[in-house]
Amino acid sequence: MTADDEIKSSVASRILSHGGRILEIGTGPGGGFMPAILKHDPDASVTISDLSPTVVRQWKHFLDRTLHSPNLSYAVFNFCDIPFRDESFDVVSDGGGIGNTEQGSRASALREVYRILKPDGILVTSTGFVTRETLAALPESAQSVLKEKRPDIFEDLYEDTVLAGFSRIESFICGGWDTDGDDSTIADLARSLGVNLHFTSYIRFCFK
Ligand SMILES: C[S@@+](CC[C@H](N)C(=O)[O-])C[C@H]1O[C@@H](n2cnc3c(N)ncnc32)[C@H](O)[C@@H]1O
């Protein structure tokens, strides 16, 4: 088991001990926390969702063949405008979806998640950001280009999470990644500036 698998497995246990209906958002090809949740409890009640119909269709195709669970459902929607009623889920799990929000803002995604969580519900979310210390260690010319072109990479979303209404937030730093060897747009920008950018990863448990 890799360190990442171990972290996901322990987060999945915590999600399952909370219990109830789980909504995985921005499921993506990696599935976020959903594969670890279903490994622990194949009967868990999980709604698998993404903006991309292809992603959702492929997960349905795979899980129909491998798990045959009547407790899985599938939905295609924008998590900045979630088509579920207020207070309808116990847990929302997000393995990097909100951090990579398309077609909306990360603040509106957090507000929507808050809205659809039950009164004692939790959001479990993970993403990464570039810390102030990492930024300060870069050449000044690279710092100013990054601050101007990609201010989003320096936001850890803590303030937006509080503003969405969450009453208690527990954050755990869990490693990180480097742009060297990555083919994302931020990695291309870092390379064009001659720097390697380190992203610090965290997992957050946000209580309604
Ligand atoms: C970088 S991927 C990675 C995360 C994914 N959980 C994984 O483990 O592979 C981000 C995912 O979030 C989805 N996404 C981005 N913005 C979204 C939005 N506004 N609503 C729903 N899904 C979104 C993308 O379609 C993509 O599948």
Q: Which residue type occupies 115?
A: R
The number of the ligand 1 atom at minimal distance from the alpha carbon of 94 is 6
Taking only the tens place, the pLDDT of each residue in 130-186 is 999 999 999 999 999 999 999 999 999 999 999 999 999 999 999 899 999 888 899
* C-alpha to C-alpha distance for 2 and 159, rounded to whole angstroms: 31
CA of 194 to the centre of ligand 1 (A): 28
Q: Which residues pair with 48 in a beta bridge?
A: 24, 74
* C-alpha to C-alpha distance for 95 and 26, rounded to whole angstroms: 7
**Cβ neighbours for 73, distance < 8 A, ≥ 6 positions apart:** 46, 47, 48
| Ligand 1 binding pocket mutation candidate from 102, 116, 199, 203 (most atoms within 8 A of CB) | 102
Please tell me the pTM assigned to this model: 0.94
**What count of other Cβ atoms lies within 10 Å of the Cβ of residue 113?**
28
Q: Which residues pair with 198 in a beta bridge?
A: 178
* C-alpha to C-alpha distance for 208 and 53, rounded to whole angstroms: 29
Q: Whose CA is nearest to atom 18 of ligand 1?
A: 78
Q: Whose CA is nearest to atom 26 of ligand 1?
A: 28
CA angle 43, 99, 56 (to 5 degrees): 40
Instruction: Please give all residues whose beta carbon lies within 6 A of any atom in ligand 1, as ranges.
Output: 26-32, 50-52, 55, 78-80, 95-97, 100-104
CA of 26 to the centre of ligand 1 (A): 3
The residue to which tokens 């742009």 are assigned: 179
Q: Whose CA is nearest to atom 9 of ligand 1?
A: 30
Taking only the tens place, the pLDDT of each residue in 60-105 is 999 999 999 999 999 999 999 999 999 999 999 999 999 999 999 9
CA of 137 to the centre of ligand 1 (A): 30
- Is residue 48 within a helix (H) or strand (E), and if so which, with residue range? strand 46-50
Across the chain, what does the average pLDDT equal? Answer: 96
Please tell me the predicted confidence (pLDDT) of residue 181. 80
What DSSP state is assigned to residue 40? H
**Contact at 8 Å (CB) between 116 and 89?**
yes
* Ordered structural domains, the chain, with CATH: 3-130+154-178+199-207 (3.40.50.150)
3-class DSSP assignment, residue 70: coil
